[in-house]
Every structure is written in C-alpha cells, then in structure tokens.
Amino acid sequence: MSDLKILFLGDIFGRPGRKAVKENLATIRAEHNLDFVVANGENATSGRGLSAAHAQDLLQCGIDVITLGDHAFDQRDITQTLSSEQRVLRPANFTKGTAGRGFNTFTYQKDNITKKIGVMNLHGTVFMRMNVLCPFAASRVHMAEHTLGEDYDALIIDAHTEATSEIAALGHIWDGHASLVVGTHTHIPTADTRVQPNGTAFQSDAGMCGVFNSSLGMDFDGVVKRFENSRPYPMQPATGTATMCGVIVTVGDNGLATSVTPLRVGGDLQATGA
Ligand SMILES: [Fe+2]
Ligand SMILES: [Fe+2]
C-alpha cells in the first residue's frame, strides 16, 4: 500500500479564484505528486455560491470534490447539481430534506490498488447566519456508523466555521477518526497547521483562493461603505491575481495523517509553503 497525498483548497472566490485554479492546479498536482484534490467552492460564482456551470468548470480543472457552506444555495441552479452530481457536497448538518448530500466516498486507483476517500462537509453554529443541526451531534452519529480504515482509507472534513473555538473543538472530537479536519469560511489562512495527537491533521482555516488585497475577496469600496454607513451598498468581487491557499495532507495506510503542510501560491499572499 502507499500513502495518499491530498490537497484541500479554501474558498474559491469569484473569477480571480477560478482563473487561478484553472491556470495553476495542473502544475501544483504534478509538483506535489497529488492523488486527490478537494476544494470549497461556495464563493466561486461572483462571491455568491456556485453555479452549475462553474461547478462543472472546476471539476474539469482537476478538482475531484467540491464542498460548500452558508452560500451553498445562493445560485438557484445548484439545487439540481446537488441532486445529480456526486462530487459536489453541501454541509451534512443542513436540515433534513435539503437537496444533495454532505458526505460521500470516492474511489481512487493508485499502483493497482483501489483506495476509498471519504469527504464530509460540516457547517458551524457560532456567529453564522444559517440554521443548521448541531455539527457535533452530526459528527458523533457519523463516527458511530463509519470507521476510518474500514469504510474509507482517508476522510477529509471541511468544517465551514467562523469561530476558531468551534473548529478547534470539532478538530479535537475527530482526532483519530479522520485524516484531515480543516476550516473554511473566514477566508484567512491560519498558522496552526498540525497533526493532532491521535493522527488527524488540522488547520483552523485553509484560507481562500482569491484576491487578498480585498475584504475577504470583495472590493474594498462597497465593503468600507457598508461599515461606515447604516445601509448596505452593493459589493463587487475584487479584481487582481488570486492567491491559492490550502493544505496538503499525506495520509498513511491506516487513514491517519503522517504530515500536513500549508500551501500558498501566487498573488499577494504567495509563500513558499509545501
Ligand atoms: Fe466563503
Ligand atoms: Fe461561508
């Protein structure tokens, strides 16, 4: 058996984020010898959700699975995609009856060995506008029904959360049961990348694939007006070159992480990374 090397990319924001993925992902895949790529796509369409067409574009660029968040349903035609496309997930703890799924497994062929990779999307409850089921309860139910190393060879969890306290607690309860727990939603990459004591890699937020000379991907003009005044102003995605932010996790035969490294490529936040 051999290790799996998996890249997780933070929220892809607007046209600059999509362009960066389209132009750079094939090179990153080759340079880092990646087996599988998961990306959060909740802001890929003008910062507001993911259209059906952009979902297919991103899947064709080399992303294997797309996760979402509080913007999951901003684009109307994503509902049909969520029902028919196995590779696009919305948070698993959305209320019962919501279109789509929040967990799925995917087969990956490597060295004549078939590996099964699980991907799960969760949604936080602290400082977030959506009504969702408890992500801790959803996690406990999943853990009771699935076992890392038996039901899948790796499990990647995108926990879409605002508060670092909540993602840290989620990372802790999953330690030993997942390969990686990584946050999305704040768009700011955090400096706490590590493998936890029981072998689950963790980073509070992956950051975004977007323009960093901005407010979370949006042009400053409308955002500053919103903060300075008492009424909303229209906001537009920032223009410029996006930085691609994420983490690369190496997963051993038992499904636990052997290493995890942040990745930042291009744009204002370029770093050497992995
Ligand atoms: Fe986001
Ligand atoms: Fe979000």
Mean pLDDT of 71-96: 97
pLDDT tens track for 18-29: 999 999 999 999
Confirm whether 147 is domain-assigned.
yes
Centre of ligand 1 to C-alpha 13, Å, is: 7
User: Would you state the pLDDT for residue 33?
Assistant: 96
* CATH value at residue 245: 3.60.21.10
Residues 6+ apart with CB under 8 A from 252: 3, 258
pLDDT tens track for 191-218: 999 999 999 999 999 999 999 999 999 9
Q: Look at residue 263 and tell me whether its pLDDT is greater than 60.
A: yes
User: Would you state the pLDDT for residue 82?
Assistant: 98
DSSP string of 202-223?
A: EES----BB-SSSBTTB-HHHH
Confirm whether 15 is domain-assigned.
yes
Q: Look at residue 177 and tell me whether its pLDDT is greater than 80.
A: yes
Distance CA(214)–CA(223), nearest Å, equals 9
Distance CA(8)–CA(182), nearest Å, equals 8
Distance CA(127)–CA(115), nearest Å, equals 37
3-class secondary structure for 64-85?
A: CEEECCCCCCCCCCHHHHHHHC
Confirm whether 274 is domain-assigned.
no
Q: Look at residue 270 and tell me whether its pLDDT is greater than 90.
A: no
Centre of ligand 1 to C-alpha 103, Å, is: 19
User: Would you state the pLDDT for residue 130?
Assistant: 87
Domain count within the chain: 1
Distance CA(5)–CA(35), nearest Å, equals 5
In the chain, what is the straight-line distance between the N-terminal and C-terminal CA atoms, in Å? 23
From 48, 43, 46, 47, select the one nearest 66 (Cα to Cα).
43
User: Would you state the pLDDT for residue 1?
Assistant: 55
The runs of H, that is alpha helices, within 95-134 are none
CA atoms within 13 A on the CB side of 204: 13
User: Would you state the pLDDT for residue 149?
Assistant: 96
Distance CA(67)–CA(41), nearest Å, equals 6
Mean pLDDT of 72-98: 97
Confirm whether 167 is domain-assigned.
yes
Mean pLDDT of 55-78: 98
Supply the mean pLDDT for the chain: 96
User: Would you state the pLDDT for residue 66?
Assistant: 99
Residue 250, H or E segment? strand 244-251
Q: How confident is the model at residue 2 (pLDDT cuts 50, 70, 90)?
A: confident
Q: Which residues form the domain of 89?
A: 4-269
Q: How confident is the model at residue 272 (pLDDT cuts 50, 70, 90)?
A: low
Q: How confident is the model at residue 98 (pLDDT cuts 50, 70, 90)?
A: very high
Q: Which ligand has its closest atom nearest to the C-alpha of 44? A: 1
Q: Look at residue 273 and tell me whether its pLDDT is greater than 80.
A: no
Instruction: Using alpha carbons, list the distances in angstroms from residue 259 to 32, 193, 194, 196, 199.
Output: 13, 10, 8, 10, 9
User: Would you state the pLDDT for residue 271?
Assistant: 74
Q: Residue 59 corresponds to which tokens in the numbers above?
A: 């899947």
Centre of ligand 1 to C-alpha 187, Å, is: 6
User: Would you state the pLDDT for residue 13?
Assistant: 98
Confirm whether 265 is domain-assigned.
yes
pLDDT tens track for 220-255: 999 999 999 988 899 999 999 999 999 999 999 999
Mean pLDDT of 145-161: 98
The runs of H, that is alpha helices, within the chain are 14-31, 52-60, 78-84, 135-145, 164-174, 220-228
Instruction: Using alpha carbons, list the distances in angstroms from residue 209 to 33, 200, 245.
Output: 20, 24, 5
Mean pLDDT of 32-44: 98
Instruction: Using alpha carbons, list the distances in angstroms from residue 56 to 79, 87, 109, 133.
Output: 14, 10, 22, 29
Active-site entry in 32, 54, 71, 123: 71
Residue 56: burial class (beta carbons within 10 Å; 0-12, 13-18, 19+): middle
Quote the Cα angle for 55-273-223, to 5°: 55
Confirm whether 157 is domain-assigned.
yes
71 among known catalytic residues: yes
Centre of ligand 1 to C-alpha 9, Å, is: 12
